[in-house]
Structure 1
């Protein structure tokens, strides 16, 4: 059983998948940092100093003994207050759009790389002798008066 497992793991597609997952996780962290640390502050500045992470709707009561800010999403969430964090959702949506656009660019580049415009389209296969003979018979029948 161990030998079968080793054979399974050492197949190329399993290793490729493992590498893709690791690179994807690192890429996700990079995009999250790009979104959180660069793009969202710029977008917030353009729209008048908005901080998207502080946009939320409180659904429940604040627990007794809470001493944090009433406008800090992270503190309220940590305290167990039920919240709808639509600002965080906007941030994640921008994050998703960036990842989707980059994947689109990668797929487009790969398709361009593997598409060889110098190749001629495949020529149709030669007709069989039966088809050629039937065409000749048809043409002869059309010539008759």
Structure 2
């Protein structure tokens, strides 16, 4: 009986110590900025760091959006971007990420009126599929709505 209690106590301690680990990882959040020099940006990343998962940029009222997804070296330059049931497959151009070795930035050029972007602005739902990996991103409703309002003609 004592042996069973000791095993259960060790298992519980291991489980509880494992639960504390994810709290140390900073959370990625969406942010929108707009400056005259750089235009508008919608960024999913860790605040006050260079850690970025996805970025959209545009010049105000241009009607054009560049989507940059940070992938892995070897990812193809094709991505599916989903917002709820609306999705499309996009072809882009990949290049090595300057900040993180082994990462690849993949750029896609979209119209600001693209149905997927419009649905993201309306619902905040966004998921990206790269080389068989699904990146389910946090809801982006308010930031995406504000960003696209700046970008649209």
Which range, TM-score by smaller chain?
under 0.3
More helix by share: 1
Larger radius of gyration: 1
TM-score by length of 1: 0.28
More strand by share: 2
TM-score by length of 2: 0.26
